[in-house]
Structure 1
């Protein structure tokens, strides 16, 4: 009868003695990973298809506008920088509906968020990284077409000062839009771990509110209640941005009969936008506290 002997093997494990990178590094890594994920980078080829198509759809009209302006030797662009995001708001809404749920819903569904908190990262870090990544992804989506318009206008030898001013106003507008849309989209997506429900919630909220506001504004304008037109615009994210840039960035408005808000009403629009951005952050913090993360 053979007797088994016990052997202890030294396989070389040793304590980690490298640098401790801490919360800031973990937050930056989560932000970078989330931003890349919004465009399918670092994920499967199938995940890249929709965001890249939507990115191309956003850029193609800008390239066409530039080509037409150059061919006709125009002195100014046929589409203002501040109007481009309003003109393409449906594409922005689709991008948000597709990418906001993939940013947060999967973590909730598969309960992977506690793995993040096993590292030196807190709830505020997670929310800031996700919010910042979504807003940055939207800013890239809306800002690159403006850059195409700007470069094209300079190649067409349009007035440098006017084009630079318009470009700066457009960037300010889409930066505010990115923060507002990104926050609202993440809040809606984080309400459910089911990605499909999150997509439907984002599309329904943005599409229905915009359609309802435009219809109500048109009715108010036709019936002579023109004073109500600018106040009705407070009830849709798209018209909120439209109102802010009309009041403070010298943009033309899509409101009926050109009844955009002035400085007084514009201040209310800006206050509502900033409140929604802060409220979105607070709602995300509350959501992750509620689920025990």
Structure 2
């Protein structure tokens, strides 16, 4: 009997038990800044993160150290040029990038996974696409941020060289022309390396795997191409040396420099591509940049669901 009365009491509520509690939340009635603001914010956040700004001290160590390593040789060259009253810089602006390519590759390997791997690992990518940002906005922001970070990394040492050359009272027109050629090389290299690094890093959410894969692609390809070019030069097949350069990012950049920017070729025997071959190099680089952007769009269409 007691059980039946308990069931009846449970099944028959005495009245409406619902309550509305005011816990202090207020509706947002400010301006809606939209997609462009969200994209710019994502760009600036990624760019700052590429140098550890806004993050822990530990995250700042490697990018800042690599930035210093990039600038120190330029500062030393400037000091030598000023005190010895040289009439030209020890290293041309375009040659400086090739000389420091190992540092650039290490920076890409470290920062490309930082830009995209954490979003993949913690599955926060769909949150970006909920509103108002879209897949293309996300990819453009990440790509532009890493390319900008690389442009800063490689462009500032050239600026140090240029300012030092002017302080040493070297020929203004000649130095300005060389500096402009160096900046053109920097822009092309930044876009190419950023695209390659982001495509590789976006494949895996594991940052360690991304770092190892980027280093392998950038350094092993350069070593393999340099070896094949040396073998071709040893056997007298100099005609194929420029074409072999198409299979490594850094040798492609050097091929464009030697074909159009008056830079000395680093290929064995100084054999650089002709203007026609250089045009092929430019088309291949632009094609790789476009392909990297397309692959990133395709990748995030899957992970953004």
TM-score category (smaller protein): over 0.9
CA–CA separation in structure 1 for the residues paired with 2:55 and 2:297: 27
Residue of structure 2 equivalent to 1:136 = 148
C-alpha deviation, 1:9, in angstroms? 5.6
- 1:50 corresponds in structure 2 to 62
Give the structure 1 partner of residue 34 of structure 2. 22
Question: Shift of the alpha carbon at 1:12?
Answer: 4.3
**1:1-293 to 2 correspondence within 5 Å?**
10-293=22-305
- Residues 107 and 149 (structure 1 numbering): CA distance in 2 closer, same or farther, change over 3 Å? same
Q: Are 2:125 and 2:303, in contact at CA under 8 Å, matched by a contact in 1?
A: no
Does the aligned pair in 1 maintain the 2:126–2:303 contact within 8 Å? no
- Of the structure 1 ranges 46-55 and 112-121, higher mean CA displacement relative to structure 2 is found in 112-121
Q: What stretches of structure 2 of length at least 5 have no aligned partner?
A: 1-16
CA distance in 1, matches of 2:175, 2:153: 20
Cα offsets for 1:254-289 (capped at 9, x unmatched): 001110001000000000000000000001011111
Retained in 1: the 8 A contact 2:129–2:304? no
Q: What RMSD, in angstroms, separates the aligned Cα atoms of the two structures?
A: 1.3
TM-score by length of 2: 0.92
Name the CA distance, whole Å, in 2 between partners of 1:201 and 1:274. 22
Unpaired segments ≥5 residues, structure 1: none
Residue pair 2:66, 2:103 contacting (<8 A) in 1 also = yes
Q: What TM-score does the superposition give when structure 1 sets the normalisation length? A: 0.96
- 1:7 Cα offset (Å): 7.8
Tell me the number of residue pairs that the alignment of Structure 1 and Structure 2 aligns.
Answer: 289
How far apart are the structure 2 equivalents of 1:291 and 1:32? 23
Q: After superposition, what is the alpha-carbon deviation per residue over 1:7-66, rounded to whole angstroms, capped at 9, x for unaligned? A: 866454332221110000000000000000000000000000000000000000000010
Distance 2:201 2:47 in 1: 16
Give CA-to-partner distance per residue, 1:118-170, whole Å, 9 cap, x none: 23000000000000000000000000000000000001110111111100000
Give distance in 1, aligned partners of 2:174 and 2:62: 35
> Alignment partner of 1:191: what SS?
coil
Looking at structure 2, the residues matched to 10 and 213 of structure 1 have their Cα atoms a distance apart, in angstroms, of 69
Larger Rg: 2
Q: Tell me how far apart the structure 1 counterparts of residues 197 and 82 of structure 2 sit (CA, whole Å).
A: 37
